[in-house]
Structure 1
Amino acid sequence: MDESFFFERAVRALDRYQYDKALKYFRKAVELKPNNPVNHCNMAGILSEMGDYEASNAVLIHVLEQVDPTMIECRFYMANNFANMERFEEAEEALLAYLEQDESGQFLHEAEEMISLLQNELKRKIRDHNVLARRGTDRHDRARAMLEEGRFAEAAEMLEQVLGEYPDFAAAANNLALAYYYMGLTERALETVEEVLRRDPGNLHGLCNLAIFRRYSGLNGLEESVRLARRLATVMPFHQEHAFKLATTLGILGEHEAAYGHFRRLLAGGGDEAGDASVHHYGAVAALHSGRFDAAERLWKQTLKLDPEADAAAYYLERLPEWRENGVGEPVNYQYRLDVSRRAESDRRWEERPPEESPAIRAGLLRTLRSGSDEDKRSAIQACRPQGDDEVADALRALAGDESEDSELRGLAREALGENESERSDSFEGEESPAPPFSRDPAELPVWEKRWQDVLDTAIRASCTPSDFGLRRDLEALWTDFLRRLYPDVPALSHVEGWAAALDYLTDKLRRGDSTYEELGRRYGVSSSTIGRYVKRMDQVCQIKERQNHRKGLQQ
């Protein structure tokens, strides 16, 4: 009759709820093999079941002090005993000791439930602590919440600390890349995500983020983004989280066929997404863009069933019969909420946009301008577009006028505000009566179509660096003036690259540049004759040659 004999007898007694017998047999097993911590813990468990919590804790303390100090789970058992004795302060101490020492996380879920219980009983939050089993995931989760709240600098700082301790934590690195991107630190964002992919070339979140970042990093970046989109379109993820990330990224990148396939699988999987109205809407938009009108109708109807207030779905569903007959004649956005009465003035694209166009990102930029480091302020200035945003303009003016700030930063702030006269194309030395400036305010137009924005975005990506405030303003000014003069009879603008090349050419001429049709044709992938045709049309509308002649006359 060795230790295993009494152990089996104890288990049999437990199955019959004969706790007295079970305790007797476990005690005998401990006597026969006193260095086996499992027998001690089983005895402590029986004592706890019998309500003798003090005796149970005495056994657990004996295990930690005399038998096996690595049996960290004993602290979790002790926390349960203290809670049952309503000694909640001691329960908290034992529980936090368990969380801070247990690397495996054996009772992590149960410990989190106990935290909720203790907080209710103590009427306060549990003391600050680290959860060793999470290896930085607590801070990572807090940093993710900061990203959602627009606190990008704080999120970046916390994620940098996490990665300093756990350099292989890919999820933290991907979110750090997003924080950098939202702060306007595009190069650092790219470096971070490329490091993730160097360690793990197949990291899906990293590939998706890289495709988005490259989309807004010039013409070469746009080409790489297209290549990445084609690569991502062939991926078939297993996990729902990965499928959703991939589906939304492919929608952003215009790969609607592949995006629809992933949204359809998500909705058929029976998970949380199946009851999410917004996922049905995204699937409907992807279906429409890939020519599946019946599927789009079915998904939008389900969207309205789940959320009767889904105005975008209601509007698109109303327009669907006309689109079946005549084709889709207006932009259809992934944007879930849509003010129908002013739909063209709402966020133009569901895409992940340049940093200043997102409200959350804008809040982060404002915070950085007011209290960030010099390096972060410099990046935030480069990411700002103060035109039409009084709060951003006020923050830049405050920075430009603060004599305690670095002189270079103050100068950059003035440039962003358009106060550096040497960079303005419609201000010339010696002019007494300058030509009327182009309108810079898209709000003068009662609508703003996606195709118009696509032309402007293409020209900006191909010709501007992040610090080219003057050129960016002049491209926007000329394009807005052209549209304003034509409205409401704006042409279809179906050849985005051709119109973008013409806009680039004329803006450069107004800035006394020397661009040629051939050079721009290579840059935009269009013929010289196409550029010439669109340049002629824009000149007729905006009277650009007359404007240049007026300037030459003043100079003479």
Structure 2
Amino acid sequence: MLFVNGNPYGSSDPHNIISIEMNANFFFDRAVRSLDRYQYDKALKYFRKAVEYEPDNPVNHCNMAGILSETGDYQASNEVLAHVLEQVDPSMTECYFYMANNYANMEQFEKAEEALVTYLEEDPSGQFLDEAEEMMELLQYELNRPAKLNRIKSREGVVEHEHARALLEEGKFAQAVKQLEEIVKEHPDFLAARNNLALAYYYMGRFDSAKRTIGEVLDQEPGNLHGLCNLAIFYQHEGDVEQRDRLMDMLRITVPFHLEHVFKLATTMGILGQHEVAYGHFRRLLKHEEFNSDPSLYHYTAVAACNIGLYEKAEQYWRHAAKLDPESVIPDFYLAQLQKRKETGTDQMKVSYHYHLPFEEQFRQWAQDGEQLTEEAKQNPLIRSSFFWALRHGDPQTKLQVIRTLELIADEEVQHALQSFLQEPGENAELKTAARLVLQHMESASSRIADRREERDAAPVKTREVLPDWLPSWKAVLERAEQAMDMRSDAFWKKEMENLWTGFLSRLYPDIPNIRNVEGWAAALEYWTAKKRGRNLTYEEVAVRYGISPSTVSRYARQINSVFGDEAQSDHNFRPFTENI
């Protein structure tokens, strides 16, 4: 006998009575069965009964709203969803996404956009984030304007993190650290941000902070591959061979599943000199569609092949990179180097993984650290040949960068290359002016060396005239500084000052500031000339001689220092401290 709602049905035998408990679950199950059979009317009826039994359960309400939407009653569906948000559970933010769908189906696009924006700005989980972004594109097309979206709550910290990553890539490490520290403070479990914070510390030379931050990553997730790779690179920088090799042995046999991890491991192995392992990982990436159209990946694979002596394979990969990136001179440069190696019979050819010409990384590190190119870099034939290659084939911005960098080498070959560049009829006039400034600086430096060979008590000689294409204000600064120093220094000091001023102008060109305050610039020039020669001089002392305030001297001195960095204070060269693929 069935016993339904207290009413007997069928046999009166008490042993055959089955008690059925009428509750929300009972009607929910009936509703799901009806849905499986596409019996929407019955499903709606059962979901209504489930709501009657459990009016405070938002899931039942949402199920009922879903059925109404399936049957085309979008308005009724939205009324149910609004009831959930207002009376049952305001935290059910996914209701806004359902409402946006209903409004879109009713072609009420303004209301759909409003509901969708609310979902994106209020929903913490991002369950329907991909679908919401697709709908946002549809609404933008329908409304002919982008939505006014202030934030995506489920991506809190993600946008900021991407911005911080961009700052890292641009070498703006202090700004990146500030932003990443804020992200990590607000989102302690955001391990990607913590990993990048460690890298930012590392690039700034704050090695203790870098290792501590990586330790925090690995405390939360001991197998975090990015953290382990970064730690191995830190050990290499410190010269801790034992710890590096222990970690490297583990990474060498690691086979990541996620492609992003494969790329991280491949680049790390390249930095650590494990080129054969790197080669295997790069080749694995090339088999995947999302990577095999990236010319830089073919370059990385070619580099790894080249560094283990597989020159024919390297040539194949660089040729493919050239097809994918026909505007780039990089693959052609390395192909030319391979041909040169073949012709000269050179045994080995070691190449950096950076997807640019070798000089660009040297220049980036020099500019980043305020250091000069090392003697080793100046004499490196691969780097030198890339300078002259880019001077012939690069875009205008690259050529300008090369011209500035060639000043750091300043030998006869550079002089010949720049003089030949000036003879090219089709070259940009501004680039030629920059080349003339560098040649002038080289001439000034050559004169300084000659002066050093003269006896210190030799009669003062007249300073070389500035080239006539200098602006009058540039010349006025040098003349004013020489006038102020005339009674207190010899010709050697004047040459040093001229060399510093010419170098300052050539490195800024064509973005030289408007020289209005001749006294201020001259005072700053004298200040840094004295510092460069090891003489203690204060802003106050210089300010008195030029009749200006110490703060004015300080302001212009900082501008000169921003170009030269520590180089303005000494003649020492420093080696760049790291490589980053």
Measured against the shorter chain, the TM-score band is 0.5 to 0.7
Residue 313 of structure 2 corresponds to: 295
Residue 507 of structure 2 corresponds to: 389
Higher mean C-alpha displacement, 7-16 vs 348-357: 348-357
Deviations 1:267-291 (A, max 9, x none): 23x2422232221121111111112
2:258 paired residue among 236, 239, 242 = 239
Letter in 2 for 1:282: Y
Letter in 2 for 1:423: G
Residue 473 of structure 1 corresponds to: 571
Rounded Cα–Cα distance in structure 1 between residues aligned with 2:565 and 2:296:
36
Residue 493 of structure 2 corresponds to: none
Residue 279 of structure 2 corresponds to: 260
Judging changes above 3 Å, is the alpha-carbon distance between structure 1 residues 234 and 146 closer, same or farther for their aligned structure 2 residues? same
Q: Retained in 1: the 8 A contact 2:307–2:349?
A: no
Q: Retained in 1: the 8 A contact 2:113–2:147?
A: no
Judging changes above 3 Å, is the alpha-carbon distance between structure 1 residues 475 and 392 closer, same or farther for their aligned structure 2 residues? farther
Residue 47 of structure 2 corresponds to: 26
Judging changes above 3 Å, is the alpha-carbon distance between structure 1 residues 229 and 117 closer, same or farther for their aligned structure 2 residues? farther
Residue 79 of structure 1 corresponds to: 100
Task: Please give the root-mean-square deviation of Cα atoms over the aligned residues, in Å.
Answer: 4.7
Residue 332 of structure 1 corresponds to: 351
Residue 60 of structure 1 corresponds to: 81
Pair 1:127-2:149 in alignment: yes
The DSSP-based 3-state class of the residue aligned with 2:240 is: helix
Letter in 2 for 1:390: L
Judging changes above 3 Å, is the alpha-carbon distance between structure 1 residues 160 and 191 closer, same or farther for their aligned structure 2 residues? same
Q: CA deviation at 1:59?
A: 0.9
Judging changes above 3 Å, is the alpha-carbon distance between structure 1 residues 231 and 468 closer, same or farther for their aligned structure 2 residues? farther
Aligned pair count? 393
Relative contact order, CA 8 A, sep 6+: which one is greater?
A: 1
Q: CA deviation at 1:390?
A: 2.3
Q: CA deviation at 1:107?
A: 1.6
Q: CA deviation at 1:168?
A: 3.0
Q: Retained in 1: the 8 A contact 2:532–2:569?
A: no
The DSSP-based 3-state class of the residue aligned with 1:275 is: coil
Pair 1:423-2:534 in alignment: yes
Rounded Cα–Cα distance in structure 2 between residues aligned with 1:271 and 1:352:
37
Q: CA deviation at 1:109?
A: 1.9
Rounded Cα–Cα distance in structure 1 between residues aligned with 2:32 and 2:339:
70
Q: Retained in 1: the 8 A contact 2:58–2:84?
A: yes
Rounded Cα–Cα distance in structure 1 between residues aligned with 2:520 and 2:60:
71
Letter in 2 for 1:420: K
Q: Retained in 1: the 8 A contact 2:299–2:355?
A: yes
Q: Retained in 2: the 8 A contact 1:277–1:304?
A: yes
Residue 161 of structure 1 corresponds to: 182
Deviations 1:425-482 (A, max 9, x none): xxxxxxxxxxxxxxxxxxxxxxxxxxxxxxxxxxxxxxxxx99647863448xx9xxx
Q: Retained in 2: the 8 A contact 1:335–1:350?
A: no
Aligned 1:455-474 pairs, distance under 5 A:
469=567, 473-474=571-572
Letter in 2 for 1:128: N
TM-score (norm 2): 0.55
Q: Retained in 2: the 8 A contact 1:44–1:56?
A: yes
Q: Retained in 2: the 8 A contact 1:252–1:351?
A: no
Pair 1:316-2:334 in alignment: yes
Judging changes above 3 Å, is the alpha-carbon distance between structure 1 residues 92 and 8 closer, same or farther for their aligned structure 2 residues? same
Q: Retained in 2: the 8 A contact 1:180–1:189?
A: yes
Deviations 1:294-335 (A, max 9, x none): 432332343334334454333434554664682346653434
Identity of aligned residues (%): 51
Judging changes above 3 Å, is the alpha-carbon distance between structure 1 residues 230 and 313 closer, same or farther for their aligned structure 2 residues? farther
Letter in 1 for 2:96: R
Letter in 1 for 2:321: T
Residue 223 of structure 1 corresponds to: 239
Higher mean C-alpha displacement, 251-260 vs 3-12: 3-12
Q: CA deviation at 1:82?
A: 2.8
Rounded Cα–Cα distance in structure 2 between residues aligned with 1:107 and 1:28:
28
Aligned 1:108-507 pairs, distance under 5 A:
108-122=129-143, 123-131=145-153, 133-148=154-169, 154-180=175-201, 192-193=213-214, 195-197=216-218, 200=221, 202-210=223-231, 221-224=237-240, 228=244, 231-232=247-248, 234-235=250-251, 236=254, 237-268=256-287, 270-320=288-338, 323=341, 326-328=345-347, 332-338=351-357, 346-348=360-362, 355=369, 389-390=507-508, 419-423=530-534, 469=567, 473-475=571-573
Q: Retained in 2: the 8 A contact 1:229–1:255?
A: no
Rounded Cα–Cα distance in structure 1 between residues aligned with 2:163 and 2:310:
40
- Report the structure number with the largest CA radius of gyration: 2
Q: Retained in 1: the 8 A contact 2:58–2:88?
A: yes
Q: Retained in 2: the 8 A contact 1:310–1:336?
A: no
Higher mean C-alpha displacement, 246-255 vs 145-154: 145-154
Q: CA deviation at 1:195?
A: 4.5
Residue 46 of structure 1 corresponds to: 67
Q: Retained in 1: the 8 A contact 2:34–2:43?
A: yes
Deviations 1:189-239 (A, max 9, x none): 565445545655554333444555677xxxxx4513895377336412332
